[in-house]
A and B are shown apart, each in its own frame.
Chain A
Amino acid sequence: MLFLQLFIFSLVQHLYATMLSEGGSFIKGVVLGGLFCLVVSLLSSFSSVTESNTDDHHHHHVKAASKDELKHFSDGQLLELNNRIQVYCIIMVQPKNLVYWATTLDTWSKHCDKPVFYTSEASKALEAIDLNEKDDWSRLRKALTHAYKNAGDLRWFFLAQPTTFAIIENLKYLVLTKDPEEPFYLGRAVKSGELEYVEYDGGIVLSYEALKRLVQVFQDEEKCPEKGRALWKLSEDKQLAVCLKYTGVFAENGEDTNGKGLFNTKSVDSLIQDSMRDNPTDVVEGCCSDLAVTFNGMSPNQMQVMMFGVYRLRPYGHDFHDLLTFYPPEGSDND
């Protein structure tokens, strides 16, 4: 398709060429041909027929640092990064989801430096910040704004629902060498038509800069209206992507050093089942990353088993020489 366009342009250009003078005509030809190529390339990069594989200058993948890359840091620098990286967890709960709310409270959220639960309405059983808002998108905006205002020194934000299970240590490893003053918007990135967005179910990571821009664009009723303008309602994760896009922030897929996705919108069981179908001779290797950050769709009991499976169950004698150190949280007995 592209070559056809170019060929046509070349022919047209040839016709004009006959009008130009002979002296230095070769040079003129080169220059004109080169200019034409530039124009055509620019045009094609704006067209909607772009192969989505060719990256814009906004890269679509964010990979965790490899061991080799980390070795370039001194011990002191690594320690500094290790200690400085802190995650504010924004957990959106509702009383109708009480069991998941309680399970998240008792499991993975304990590993957030600041776990904050935001609810649609108050519950007698559990405490949370009551946003008193039934509309999902409005509630999300309020929660994100609140988190930004109360960030303190924290520079990384993890947005999730209590039906997601997250391993915060692996999240920290992913963003370890990334600058939170740069806009990062990470997770399981998927495309819907022209819009690339991060799926809510897999958890959404925002750097301080991304959240700052987001909170600012919330003020803009044109670009990021509080009540959706369309006749149909966009899901919150798509809505988020649209607003962020206006501020120049684009969704990126979080991956390990081998390119395996770290954010999952399915449960471990489900992913293993897929792998049994797709890689029957190499089920576990072909499944999920060793340093996965999220899973979704597990029952509350399965989430308790995950705490054991992730933070305790292991074979004696297998030691890893990790370059970072994270300690178990105080006052917890299931990790």
Chain B
Amino acid sequence: MRKVRNMSTWIFTMGMVTGFLSLHLLFSSMVSVEKVNNSVQGIKPGTGHQDPPAGERDNKTGNDTRILCWIMTGPKNLETRTKHVKETWAKRCDKVLFMSSVKTDFPTVELNVSEGRDNLYWKTIRALQYIHQHHLDEADWFLKADDDTFVVLENLHHILSRHDPEKPFYLGRRFMPFIRQGYMSGGAGYVLSKEALRRFVKGFSTGECTHFSSIEDMALGKCLETMKVEPADSRDEHGRQTFHPYPPDYYIVRQPSRPRPWYLIYDHYAPVEGPGCCSDFVISFHYIYAVQQYVLEYLTYHLRPYGYKYRFKPDEKAQVNKTENINLL
């Protein structure tokens, strides 16, 4: 009798364990399926659209708008500034060269010039000579930028597509003083056509251009004027600026009507303060350090209002004629 009793108890216990375990397994498998679903969705990489790689750009920009970016930097800025430029917009240049006084694995090009503001024009001259000697055929346009400039390459391509790189042109933020035809702000970045680059280098080899000043942008402007390179208008179809020597808040913030602040004094075309200052298709801002490089990268290439129909649609209908406003001080 005892044996049978133990047997049935044993069977009963087995039954209980079976019942318990099966239901427990059922519950936990339901929870883990949900968890797996949630985590699978989370693992998917960002759907933010991909930038088309440089080689496969929109046909609208044409195939003779290869841009070589040469970025003025120095050994002490590589970690704090240049690194972030390299991580963001410099990737979109067809070719990029980091110009320094020291050769490194960054990689940087060694120009035989020491750092410092007094040597800025020497550095520029050597940089352009270097590019002319080694990289002339690799690009159609040559963009100068600093390690604290932020550039939107696509917008530069867009503006350059209406110009011929075999003609002597250069573009940037046009300033009016000192040089009759004006000159382009160094800080905002400027672009030389291939022909303009040839003429600059030729100017120094024939002695028509000399190092007469260390003020790089103005001196370069003088040389280009001598070599009959024309300054082009870089503003958009509504007359709004694309190159900016200062960060966006200097321009965009609404101001009461007032005389030109000091940072707008040199402008060749009458500057506008507030939302009308700047084109939607901005090309550059300056004094953009580390964090701000990524902030602008995020705002330009990532953050957007879903479904929004932008106001400025230059490809549609007739363009507004922009008038030249040359203000005399």
Q: Which residues of A contact B (CB under 8 A)?
A: 6, 10, 13-14, 17-18, 20-23, 25-38, 41, 53-55, 61, 63, 67, 82, 106, 111, 167, 169-170, 172-173, 257-260, 268-269, 272-273, 275-276, 281, 283-285, 287-288, 290-292, 301-302, 304-318, 320, 322-328, 333-335
Q: Are A257 and B154 in contact (CB under 8 A)?
A: no
Q: Is B307 positioned at the interface, with any CB of A under 8 Å from its CB?
A: yes
Q: Are B16 and A30 in contact (CB under 8 A)?
A: yes
Q: Is B302 positioned at the interface, with any CB of A under 8 Å from its CB?
A: yes
Closest CB of chain B to A253's CB: distance in Å? 12
Cβ–Cβ < 8 Å partners of A37 in chain B: 19-20, 23-24, 27
Cβ–Cβ < 8 Å partners of B275 in chain A: 307-308, 333-334
Given contacts A34-B19, A34-B22, whether A315 and B154 have CB atoms under 8 Å apart is yes
Given contacts A17-B12, A29-B18, whether A258 and B47 have CB atoms under 8 Å apart is yes
Q: Are A304 and B254 in contact (CB under 8 A)?
A: yes
Bound-state Cα–Cα, A6 to B17, Å: 11
Closest CB of chain A to B245's CB: distance in Å? 16
Q: Are B282 and A288 in contact (CB under 8 A)?
A: no
Bound-state Cα–Cα, A325 to B310, Å: 10
Q: Is B134 positioned at the interface, with any CB of A under 8 Å from its CB?
A: no
Q: Is B206 positioned at the interface, with any CB of A under 8 Å from its CB?
A: no
Minimal Cβ-Cβ distance residue in B for A256: B47
The 8 Å CB contact of B16, one of A14, A169, A333, is: A14
Given contacts A272-B294, A308-B248, whether A314 and B11 have CB atoms under 8 Å apart is no
Q: Is B319 positioned at the interface, with any CB of A under 8 Å from its CB?
A: no
Q: Are B8 and A25 in contact (CB under 8 A)?
A: yes
Bound-state Cα–Cα, A10 to B18, Å: 12
Given contacts A258-B46, A268-B299, whether A333 and B276 have CB atoms under 8 Å apart is yes
Give 12 pairs: A residue, B residue, CB < 8 Å, sorted on A: A34-B22, A53-B35, A106-B254, A111-B305, A170-B306, A257-B41, A284-B301, A288-B302, A291-B304, A316-B154, A317-B154, A322-B307
Closest CB of chain B to A15's CB: distance in Å? 10
Given contacts A37-B24, A41-B27, whether A10 and B16 have CB atoms under 8 Å apart is yes
Bound-state Cα–Cα, A63 to B42, Å: 11
Closest CB of chain B to A167's CB: distance in Å? 5
Cβ–Cβ < 8 Å partners of A273 in chain B: 291
Which has the most chain A C-beta neighbours within 10 Å: B57, B297, B306, B307?
A: B306
The 8 Å CB contact of B158, one of A18, A173, A316, A335, is: A316
Cβ–Cβ < 8 Å partners of A82 in chain B: 307
Cβ–Cβ < 8 Å partners of B35 in chain A: 53-54
Q: Are A30 and B19 in contact (CB under 8 A)?
A: yes
Cβ–Cβ < 8 Å partners of A55 in chain B: 34
Q: Are B302 and A284 in contact (CB under 8 A)?
A: yes
Which has the most chain B C-beta neighbours within 10 Å: A53, A273, A283?
A: A283
The 8 Å CB contact of A305, one of B8, B42, B157, B252, is: B252
Q: Are B303 and A309 in contact (CB under 8 A)?
A: yes
Mask for B296-321, Cβ within 8 A of A = 1, else 0? 11111111111111111000000000
Cβ–Cβ < 8 Å partners of A310 in chain B: 299, 303-305
Closest CB of chain A to B53's CB: distance in Å? 13
Query: Which residues B51-103 have CB closer than 8 A to chain A?
Result: 51, 57-58, 60-61, 87-88
Q: Are B295 and A269 in contact (CB under 8 A)?
A: yes
Q: Is B226 positioned at the interface, with any CB of A under 8 Å from its CB?
A: no
Which has the most chain B C-beta neighbours within 10 Å: A311, A317, A322?
A: A317
Closest CB of chain A to B235's CB: distance in Å? 15
Q: Are B311 and A283 in contact (CB under 8 A)?
A: no
Which has the most chain B C-beta neighbours within 10 Å: A29, A292, A326?
A: A29
